[in-house]
Amino acid sequence: MANQIFGYARVSTTDQELSIQEAALRAAGATIIRSEKKSGTSTNGRDELATLIEFARAGDTIIVTRIDRLARSIADLSRIVETLTKKGVHLKATEQPIDTSSAAGKAFLQMLGVFAEFETNLRKERQLEGIAKAKAEGVYKGRKASIDGDTVNQMAADGKGASEIAKELGIGRASVYRYLKVPS
């Protein structure tokens, strides 16, 4: 059986389009493309990627448009590359000089992985800074409570148990216990 070229396309949200990545992967020779709309911050729940990695055989190539489509943490990227390397599967990117069949391609891959993780961490820091600033200015107070604690406590005072309260309010029992007043 001839070596296969597989493509992997990923976007983070359901309102983003995969078509540009898929066209680039087809143009690069991918005959089978697996696509998904999942966050790249973890490999958990990315079933299309897992299927592709499992299906690829020695001599096959997996192509992505950019390395951040594959992973956003150096740990995840390293695990993926190690798994592919052990299987004898090559990894290439259409928009970056990445080709794990060469030493230079491997080095560039590792550098890009570090920068992808750095970018993710910077984004998280900026979000936290923005939230802290908004809280300090009184603009951000967090989301409103979805459970009325007074209602929970009144129902308990009326003799209803946690399970009954949870069922009536459509909430979890653990949430009921968090709102019940603790005797002093």
Catalytic residues: 12
- DSSP letter string, 63-89: EESSGGGT-SSHHHHHHHHHHHHHHT-
What is the enclosing helix (H) or strand (E) of 20?
A: helix 19-27
DSSP alpha helix (H) spans, 137-148: none
DSSP string, 40-53: SS-STT-HHHHHHH
Burial class (CB in 10 A: 0-12, 13-18, 19+), 90: buried
By C-alpha distance, which of 27, 129, 111, 116 is closest to 71?
A: 116
Q: Tell me which residue of 37, 41, 50 sits closest to 84, measured CA to CA.
A: 50
